[in-house]
Amino acid sequence: MDGGWRLRSLSPKSLMKTDALAPGQTIGILGGGQLGRMLAMSAARLGLRTHVFEPGAVPPAGEVAGVTTTADYCDREALAAFAGSVDVVTYEFENVPAEALDLIEARVPIRPNRRALAVSQDRLREKRFLNGIGLATAPFHPVDSASPNAASILKQAMEAVGLPAILKTRRLGYDGKGQVRIEDTDCSADFLASMAGAEAILEGFVDFEREVSVIAARSVDGRIACFEPGENVHRDGILRTTRVPAQVGPGTRERAFEIAAAILNALDYCGVIGVELFDTADGLVVNEFAPRVHNSGHWTEAGAIIDQFEQHVRAVAGWPLADPIRHSDVEMNNLVGEDVADVPAIAREDGVRLHLYGKSETRAGRKMGHVTRVLGPATSP
C-alpha cells in the first residue's frame, strides 16, 4: 500500500484548547449543496449530528442532515437559532456574508477559521497572501473595472503580466465563471464590460504541463495529513476528471505537500483544504485554494481508507486525523448535466463507485454526481 503523506506535526502554533465533540453532538454546516450532503453523510457515520443552513429550497444536503434550516444568510433570528443548536460550524459555501459569520462566531467556533475564508474569497488577497509566504503564483495585477480609468488600468495590467492573460472577478467565481481569456490588446473594452463593474484581477496565463491538486487536512492540535496529489483535467472551466496518482516525480510530489502544509500553518487552519497547483517547467505554481472539501478530492471515497469528508469532520470535531492511506489507483469523473444519462450503464460496470447528489433538475453545466473507477492497486507515481 502506498500511503499519502503520513501524519506529522509541522511547527504547530498556539492552538485553541477545545474539547472534542462527542458522538451525539452537532456540526452546523453552512450551505446545503453536494459537499454539505457528503459531509453530513460522513458525520452520521461517526455518530455526529448535522444541522444544515441553506437559503435555497430542497437542498441536496437536506435529505441527509438531521435538521435543515431554510433561511437567508441575512436572517439574524434564524442564524442565532442555528448557532445556538450546534457545537461547531463549518461551511461548504464560501460566500456567506461577514455579518452572518460574526453572529455565529460570537456563539460557537467556525472551522476553518474566518481568515482562511476571507483570504480565499478574494483572488487578489489570496495571491498576495501566497506570495507573502514565499509561494509562486501567476503574475497578477488588480483591475478596478468600475473606475473611469479602467481601460488604462487594464492596459497597464496587460503590460505588467503579459499576454495571453485571464481577467477574473476577484470574488464569487466558480467553475470558471466570471473569467475571460485575453489574447490581444484590441478588444479590451468588451472584456471590461463583461466584468460588469466588478473588482477584477488580471492573471498572466501559466504555461503548465498538468494541473494537480492536493487535498490536505490540519487538526485542531496542528497535525497535518495529505492525500496523494491528483491530476486534474478541466473542460469549459469545469473539473471533469481527477486521476490518482498524478504523473509527477518524487520532488514535485514532496513540494506539493510542503506547499499545502505552508498554507495550512500560515492560516492556523483546522479542517480539509483543496490546493490547486499548476505543474510547470519551473516548478509548482499555486492557482488557488478552497477552504473546504474539494471536488478533486472525491476520488478518496474509492481510493483511500478514509475519504476527505470524514477527514474534515474529524478535524472540525476536534478528533484526531486519520492516516490517509491510499489503496488504489483511481479515476474520478464528474457527471455534469446530461452525463447523468450514462448512469444506468455506469451502474452495470464493475469496480466503480457511483455517487449521485439527488438533484431533481438536470441543467447544462450542473454537477449531478460523480463516478470513481478503481484502476488497480496503488502504484507509485
Our CB check for ligand ATP shows the closer of 178 and 222 to be 178
Stretch that binds Mg ion, among 85-93, 242-250, 271-279, 301-309 (CB under 5 A): 271-279
Which residue in the block uniquely carries the three cell numbers 480609468?
149
Among 128, 155, 223, 234, binds ligand ATP (CB under 6 A): 234
Our CB check for ligand ATP shows the closer of 101 and 182 to be 182
CA atoms 333, 337, 343, 345: torsion sign: negative
Stretch that binds ligand ATP, among 2-10, 18-26, 183-191, 234-242 (CB under 6 A): 234-242
Our CB check for ligand ATP shows the closer of 56 and 174 to be 174
Our CB check for Mg ion shows the closer of 314 and 370 to be 370
103 belongs to the binding site for ligand ATP (CB under 6 A): no
210 belongs to the binding site for ligand ATP (CB under 6 A): no
H or E stretch including 179? strand 179-182
From the CB of residue 237, how many other CB atoms can be counted at a distance below 10 Å? 13
Our CB check for ligand ATP shows the closer of 237 and 249 to be 237
- Provide CB contacts within 8 A for 162, sequence distance 6+: 139, 204
The rounded distance, in Å, linking the Cα atoms of 241 and 227 is: 17
Note the helical H segments in the chain.
34-45, 76-84, 98-105, 114-121, 123-132, 150-161, 188-194, 250-266, 300-303, 308-316, 343-348
- Least separation in angstroms between CB 238 and ligand ATP: 6
AA letter at 91: Y
Quote the cell numbers at residue 154. 487594464
Among 44, 206, 346, 375, binds ligand ATP (CB under 6 A): 206
Write the CA distances from 21 to 38, 49, 77, 107, integer angstroms: 19, 10, 25, 16
User: Which of these, 228, 169, 226, 177, lies nearest to 1 by C-alpha position?
Assistant: 228
- Provide CB contacts within 8 A for 47, sequence distance 6+: 23, 24
Quote the cell numbers at residue 352. 466503480
For residue 239, the partner it binds in Mg ion, ligand ATP, none, with Cβ less than 5 to 8 A by kind, is ligand ATP
- Least separation in angstroms between CB 367 and ligand ATP: 10
From the CB of residue 365, how many other CB atoms can be counted at a distance below 10 Å? 12
Among 26, 34, 219, 287, binds ligand ATP (CB under 6 A): 287
Judged by DSSP in three states, 42 sits in helix
AA letter at 239: L
Stretch that binds ligand ATP, among 202-210, 309-317, 327-335, 364-372 (CB under 6 A): 202-210
251 belongs to the binding site for ligand ATP (CB under 6 A): no
237 belongs to the binding site for ligand ATP (CB under 6 A): yes
Among 29, 52, 239, 261, binds ligand ATP (CB under 6 A): 239
From the CB of residue 301, how many other CB atoms can be counted at a distance below 10 Å? 20
- Residue of minimal CB distance from Mg ion? 276
Among 12, 66, 109, 173, binds ligand ATP (CB under 6 A): 173
Max CA distance (Å), the chain: 61
Q: At what angle do helices 98-105 and 76-84 cross, to 10 degrees?
A: 40
Q: Nearest 5 degrees, angle CA 204-CA 208-CA 213?
A: 105
- Least separation in angstroms between CB 208 and ligand ATP: 6
- Least separation in angstroms between CB 262 and ligand ATP: 19
- Residues in contact with ligand ATP, shown as a per-residue x/- string from 130 to 149 under the rule CB under 6 A: --------x-----------
175 belongs to the binding site for ligand ATP (CB under 6 A): yes
Where along the sequence are the contacts to ligand ATP (CB under 6 A)? 138, 166, 173-177, 203, 205-206, 211, 234, 237, 239, 276, 287-288
Where along the sequence are the contacts to Mg ion (CB under 5 A)? 276
